[in-house]
């Protein structure tokens, strides 16, 4: 049960809007995922949530579902969790203490991994593992560089690593012998402030990023073993950060700050056209479908989406995490608030572990479910199961972080959380 991921992510910041980052897919079924607020799984009520208050915070760079555990790349090196984030262990190996930021997984052998590091004010290199990330051998000796993206051909013979040289200049290294040797071909991209090695299309590399004007681009880079040449494929309005080839079509994610959109290659003057209602943060080929992730505009909601044609997308999960509050300040995003607020006042559960359930919890005193309780049967607190009685079945709640009314969205349908 493995999720194959081929992308590195910019560190998430505690307190930011939440969004889906990485779907965990097994046999075509979405079984979990990583969001900017932590790891999530389906819950017993039919929705999705983090499985405990202490769940591992922002997934800094990448996460891989390896069945028995989830392997995560972050600023301490590699970490693992076997309880989906309630506890984690920093893997003690050659990467301990390194910013482990770039990842490639062999599509034919999920235990074969290559990572790149980007530790601040340090030399960085590339490492290879044949046992799923427990032990590593040096593939590219450390040098003044930061590696943020890796791309490789399916057979692993062609390999590209992109980032910067530590002095503010882009760096692009290419290998045609499985990483035994690398050639610096940065000159084909030195006019760009930022570049991303996206993927290999046959024997050529697709390179993304943005120009000095802020406009995004996609170039096709050909490598002859000595030097490289680049040809423009198209432009996007924003920085091109990720790509996928699906059913012979090229799809790219283009982002500008917190706003992202999915684009598909076409015959227009720009070479790409936006895909309405597509994912905004990631796109992955998983079996016969495309999976994507993003967030709902104007709502603090993580999304995981699926498409069987790349054009029409449907929400697999819309996950609104109002149950657990993440402290606005925390070391590496892993220190969580010690005091939680009861948010569900009619579910029969002491969610904040405060010793009081529902209306017996002081946090629920002003909640309309509890106002007037004991003055008779019925009232506004009844009929709060979705589909029972009249009305929407709303369970009023106060968001821990905004003080505004909040609801839990289940499976993209906008339904309120069911009463247990």
pLDDT at res. 350: 63
Strand partners of residue 152? 159
What's this model's pTM, rounded to 2 decimal places?
A: 0.73
Residue ranges of domains in the chain, CATH in brackets: 20-319 (2.130.10.10), 326-420 (no CATH)
Q: In sequence order, what are the residues at sequence separation of 6 or more whose Cβ sits closer than 8 angstroms to the Cβ of residue 294?
A: 19, 20, 260, 279, 280, 281, 282, 303, 305
The mean predicted confidence, pLDDT, of the chain is 78
pLDDT at 417 over 70: no
pLDDT at res. 300: 64
Q: What is the mean pLDDT of residues 42-57?
A: 69
More confident residue, 398 or 349: 349
Q: What is the mean pLDDT of residues 274-298?
A: 90
pLDDT at 227 over 60: yes
The lowest-confidence range among 101-105, 367-371, 397-401 is 397-401
Q: In sequence order, what are the residues at sequence separation of 6 or more whose Cβ sits closer than 8 angstroms to the Cβ of residue 279?
A: 253, 260, 262, 292, 293, 294, 303, 305, 313
Q: What angle do CA 280, 281, 283 make, to 5 degrees?
A: 95
Whether residue 31 contacts residue 300, with contact meaning beta carbons closer than 8 Å, is answered with no
Q: What is the mean pLDDT of residues 170-199?
A: 96
Other residues' Cβ atoms within 10 Å of the Cβ of residue 135: 14
Report the alpha-carbon distance of residue 417 to residue 71 in Å, rounded.
30
At 72, the pLDDT band (50, 70, 90 cuts) reads very high
The lowest-confidence range among 36-40, 126-130, 317-321 is 317-321
Report the alpha-carbon distance of residue 155 to residue 175 in Å, rounded.
13
The lowest-confidence range among 43-47, 183-187, 367-371, 380-384 is 380-384
Report the alpha-carbon distance of residue 378 to residue 331 in Å, rounded.
47
Whether residue 175 contacts residue 158, with contact meaning beta carbons closer than 8 Å, is answered with yes
Whether residue 395 contacts residue 386, with contact meaning beta carbons closer than 8 Å, is answered with no
Report the alpha-carbon distance of residue 195 to residue 198 in Å, rounded.
9
Q: What is the mean pLDDT of residues 131-149?
A: 95
């Amino acid at each position: 049960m493995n999720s194959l991921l081929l992308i590195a992510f910019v560190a998430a910041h505690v307190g930011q809007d939440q969004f889906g980052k990485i779907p965990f897919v097994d046999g075509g079924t979405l079984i979990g995922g990583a969001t900017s607020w932590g790891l999530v799984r389906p819950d017993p009520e039919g929705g999705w949530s983090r499985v405990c208050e202490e769940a591992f915070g922002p997934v800094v760079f990448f996460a891989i579902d390896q069945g028995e555990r989830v392997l995560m790349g972050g600023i301490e090196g590699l970490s693992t969790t076997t309880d989906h984030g309630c506890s984690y262990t920093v893997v003690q190996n050659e990467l301990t203490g390194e910013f482990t930021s770039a990842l490639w997984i062999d599509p034919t052998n999920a235990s074969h991994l290559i990572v790149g590091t980007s530790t601040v004010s340090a030399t960085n290199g590339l490492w290879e593992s044949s046992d799923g990330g427990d032990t590593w051998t040096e593939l590219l000796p450390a040098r003044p560089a930061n590696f943020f993206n890796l791309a490789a051909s399916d057979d692993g013979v062609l390999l590209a690593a992109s980032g910067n040289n530590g002095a503010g200049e882009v760096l692009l290294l290419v290998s045609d012998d499985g990483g035994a040797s690398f050639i610096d071909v940065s000159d084909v991209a030195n006019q760009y402030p930022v570049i991303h090695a996206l993927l290999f299309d046959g024997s050529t590399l697709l390179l993304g990023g943005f120009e000095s004007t802020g406009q995004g681009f996609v170039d096709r880079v050909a490598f002859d073993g000595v030097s490289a040449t680049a040809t423009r494929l198209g432009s996007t309005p924003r920085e091109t950060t990720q790509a996928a080839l699906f059913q012979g079509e090229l799809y790219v994610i283009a982002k500008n700050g917190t706003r992202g959109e999915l684009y598909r290659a076409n015959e227009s003057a720009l070479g790409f056209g936006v895909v309405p209602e597509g994912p905004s943060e990631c796109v992955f080929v998983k079996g016969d479908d495309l999976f994507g992730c993003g967030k709902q505009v104007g709502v603090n909601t993580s999304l995981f989406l699926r498409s069987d044609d790349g054009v029409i997308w449907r929400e697999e999960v819309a996950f609104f995490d109002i149950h657990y509050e993440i402290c606005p300040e925390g070391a590496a995003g892993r220190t969580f608030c010690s005091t939680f607020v009861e948010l569900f006042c009619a579910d029969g559960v002491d969610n904040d572990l405060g010793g009081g359930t529902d209306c017996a919890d002081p946090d629920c005193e002003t909640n309309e479910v509890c106002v007037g309780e004991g003055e008779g049967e019925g009232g506004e607190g009844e009929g709060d199961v979705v589909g029972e009685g009249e009305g929407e079945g709303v369970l009023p709640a106060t968001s821990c972080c905004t003080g505004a009314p909040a609801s839990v969205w289940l499976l993209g349908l906008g339904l309120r959380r069911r009463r247990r």
